[in-house]
Amino acid sequence: MYGTKSADLLAEYGGRRVLVEVKSANNRAAQSLPDKLLKHLNTWPGLTGTEPVDGGVLVVNHQIKLPPAQRDAEVYTDRVFADALTVPVIGSARLFDWWRREDWDAVRHAVFGDTGGAQPSELVVPDADPKASGRTDLLSRLRR
């Protein structure tokens, strides 16, 4: 609808709207990729006719020269960088696996945060605070 000014996809579920930015990388994902999503999130309110969004998510198809089974499970393996991210980042292989298993709760949770459904096991972090919930906790899980 708005070309590359507005990210790749506007997703809506349960009254929440998020911009979905999709990128690819031949090898490891560049640390500048989350900036593309942040740019679109900053641009979005200035576009005519847009409704507010609640955030965004970056989906990255990385290490595309390798067979999927040989790719890193995480998009960013640099812990310091990954822990500093302010937006969720999902690897396309993980997203595909949820789709293949028809695990729609996992997809919704990854894209929209806490939607009231079961929390996908791939996002659980053993040292996470069990009382924490919502998008902030989701961000820390997706970055790992």
How confident is the model over 12-24, as pLDDT tens digits? 999 899 999 999 9
CA distance 71 to 108: 24
What is the C-alpha end-to-end distance of the chain, expressed in Å?
33
The whole-angstrom distance between residue 5's C-alpha and the CA centroid of its chain comes to: 18
Domain ranges (residues) in the chain? 3-142
The predicted model gives 39-56 an average pLDDT of 87
How confident is the model over 102-133, as pLDDT tens digits? 999 999 999 998 766 555 444 433 233 333 33
Residues in the chain: 144
CA distance 57 to 74: 15
**SS3 state of residue 130:** coil
